[in-house]
Amino acid sequence: MKSLTEFENILKKDKVDSVLVQRNNAVLFEYHRNKKMKEKQHKIYSVTKSILSAVIGIAIDKGYIENVNTPIINFFPEFN
């Protein structure tokens, strides 16, 4: 990809509603098909599951979580 303008053109062509790229609390790129899309809640279907599984894999790799069989209640003892 040559530029953010080219990326934005691809997003427009594919009829993407919104994209936000953020790194270290700084917004690097933001695109909304129109003003309404900036405020609209979007259906993201299975995206949440994909992101959560990647984050859990990273947490296991870094030793924050022992394995996928670790009960989630271990991290929220106030709800036990």
27, β-bridge pairs: 22
Question: Quick one: pLDDT at residue 40?
Answer: 85
Instruction: Report residues of the chain scoring pLDDT below 50.
Output: none
- Threshold 0.75, pTM exceeds: no
Question: Quick one: pLDDT at residue 1?
Answer: 54
Question: Quick one: pLDDT at residue 5?
Answer: 86
Question: Quick one: pLDDT at residue 39?
Answer: 87
